Amino acid sequence: MSRRKEIDEVRDLIETRGVKAAAKALIEVCSDPKAPAPARATAGTALLRAAGMFEKVERDDNKDVAEMDGFELRRATARICAQLDELKKSPASASFADPSADDDEDDGGDDPLFE
């Protein structure tokens, strides 16, 4: 067997059985009330890190929608809905919500955009 093939087999073993065994061991230590507190804390931290909880949260304000995952899309949608709700509550937005509200207001004077 070639060295390259052996390395690939070891990596495959680590990525399948090894990851499962490591995750199971971390969960067992973290869940064991008799385990020493530092071991539980270390296991908990490792689990959170593996789950991506310590990664820097990337703001999706400038991220293209096509690049967002489901969580980012839901968060962006919720943020936009909250902003729309705030705009609807604002007195300044009343004319946007009801186009007829502009009828009695100043039409902008000599500005050709408002004629």
Residue 23 identity: A
Taking the model in full, what pTM does it have? 0.46
The answer to whether residues 45 and 52 touch, using CB atoms and an 8 Å cutoff, is no
The answer to whether residues 73 and 65 touch, using CB atoms and an 8 Å cutoff, is yes
Helical segments of the chain, H only: 3-13, 19-31, 37-50, 70-89, 94-97
pLDDT in tens, the chain (115 residues): 788 999 999 999 999 999 999 999 999 999 999 999 999 999 999 998 888 877 765 555 677 888 888 888 888 888 888 888 888 887 665 555 555 555 555 555 565 555 5
Distance of CA 32 to the CA centre of its chain: 30
Q: What pLDDT is attached to residue 50?
A: 86
Query: Can you say whether residue 4 is alpha, beta or left, with left for phi > 0 and alpha for psi between -120 and 50 degrees?
Result: alpha
